């Protein structure tokens, strides 16, 4: 019993210490005046974490939009409300599925890659060699990747939403025969810019901060061994995914609770 309590205490302390290290890492990485070099690196990283994530985001968005349309139609048609399929697809995507699924996919695709890349750089002493060349790896490696993640994810979520709505249109209108005009006009009338699009974007930005931070810290804090990188990558995806789902609940409660 005492051993179990002491293990729990040790685990709590280790997690608090890790949170402290993660906060220090982020503060040191971001606390400096941006330079032109940083902007160039951010653009390069935007390609790596953003553009290269685009195919999986677009394909997933399309399928999820199509699935919502199928499921929605099968429920709504019973009530003769199939013309409300447009707002159903759009609101589901804008408010919840767009930001959340994009964040989960981003954590799996770009987050794991960031963790593995930085973990490997640490293992092969590339980060140490940078330090010895008087180049701060936090500014040179961590900062551009962090900003790239934060910029990329809301853009990816927006594209996810657009493609998802188009997928819903394909299934609902082209396939199941919902009226084209009703689909778009009711959707347009139902969406509020601030409440739906704005809150969805806020969620995306919060998820981007969380996922990118978790991914970068786990890489930077990885034990410098093959097993260490593997554990860090797994931890990165698991922690980021759980964090996204937890934050989604909190944000949804705050945004739509009343």
Q: Determine if 185 is a binding residue for another protein (CB under 8 A).
A: no
Q: Determine if 134 is a binding residue for another protein (CB under 8 A).
A: yes
For residue 195, give both structure tokens. 């409440």
CA-to-CA dists, residue 139 to 69, 72, 109, 134, 147, angstroms: 45, 47, 23, 11, 11
DSSP state of 84: G
Place of tokens 């930085």: 118
Q: Determine if 52 is a binding residue for another protein (CB under 8 A).
A: no
Q: How far is the CB of 35 from another protein (least distance, A)?
A: 11
Stretch that binds another protein, among 102-110, 133-141, 166-174, 191-199 (CB under 8 A): 133-141
Stretch that binds another protein, among 93-101, 129-137, 169-177, 179-187 (CB under 8 A): 129-137
The residue from 56, 76, 140, 231 that contacts another protein (CB under 8 A) is 140
Our CA dihedral for 10, 11, 16, 17, rounded to 10 degrees, sits at 70
Q: Determine if 174 is a binding residue for another protein (CB under 8 A).
A: no
Closest CB to another protein among 40 and 250? Answer: 40
How many Cα atoms occupy the beta-carbon half-sphere of 149 within 13 Å? 29
Stretch that binds another protein, among 86-94, 135-143, 157-165, 175-183 (CB under 8 A): 135-143
Q: Determine if 133 is a binding residue for another protein (CB under 8 A).
A: yes
Residue among 255, 222, 215 nearest 238 (CA):
215
Which distant-in-sequence residues (6+ apart) come within 8 Å of 138 by Cβ? Answer: 25, 28, 29
Report the alpha-carbon distance of residue 147 to residue 221 in Å, rounded.
Answer: 19
Closest CB to another protein among 31 and 63? Answer: 31
Q: Determine if 129 is a binding residue for another protein (CB under 8 A).
A: yes
Q: How far is the CB of 231 from another protein (least distance, A)?
A: 20
Closest CB to another protein among 125 and 180? Answer: 125
Cβ-based neighbour number of residue 220 at 10 Å:
24
For residue 53, give both structure tokens. 């994530």
Q: Determine if 234 is a binding residue for another protein (CB under 8 A).
A: no
Q: Determine if 128 is a binding residue for another protein (CB under 8 A).
A: yes
Q: Determine if 126 is a binding residue for another protein (CB under 8 A).
A: yes
Report the alpha-carbon distance of residue 8 to residue 218 in Å, rounded.
Answer: 21
For residue 229, give both structure tokens. 């990188």
Which residues are at the interface with another protein (CB under 8 A)?
A: 120, 124-126, 128-129, 131-136, 140
């Amino acid at each position: 019993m005492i051993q179990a309590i002491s293990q729990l205490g040790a685990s709590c302390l280790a997690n608090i210490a890790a949170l402290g290290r993660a906060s220090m890492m982020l503060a040191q990485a971001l606390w400096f005046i941006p330079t032109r070099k940083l902007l160039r690196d951010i653009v390069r990283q935007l390609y790596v974490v953003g553009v290269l994530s685009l195919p999986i985001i677009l394909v997933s968005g399309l399928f999820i939009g199509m699935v919502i349309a199928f499921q929605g139609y099968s429920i709504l048609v019973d009530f003769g409300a199939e013309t409300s399929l447009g707002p159903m697809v759009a609101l589901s995507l804008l408010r919840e599925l767009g930001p959340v699924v994009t964040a989960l996919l981003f954590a799996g695709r770009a987050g794991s890659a960031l963790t593995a890349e930085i973990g490997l750089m640490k293992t092969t002493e590339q980060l140490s060699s940078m330090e010895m060349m008087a180049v701060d790896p936090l500014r040179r490696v961590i900062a551009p990747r962090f900003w790239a993640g934060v910029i990329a994810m809301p853009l990816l979520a927006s594209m996810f939403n657009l493609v998802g709505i188009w997928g819903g249109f394909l299934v609902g209108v082209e396939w199941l025969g919902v009226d084209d005009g009703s689909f778009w006009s009711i959707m347009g009338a139902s969406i509020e810019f601030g409440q739906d699009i704005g809150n969805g974007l806020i969620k995306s930005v919060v998820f981007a901060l969380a996922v990118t931070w978790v991914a970068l810290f786990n890489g930077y804090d990885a034990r410098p061994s093959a097993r260490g990188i593997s554990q860090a990558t797994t931890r990165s995806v698991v922690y980021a995914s759980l964090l996204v789902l937890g934050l989604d609940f909190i944000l949804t409660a705050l945004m739509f609770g009343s």
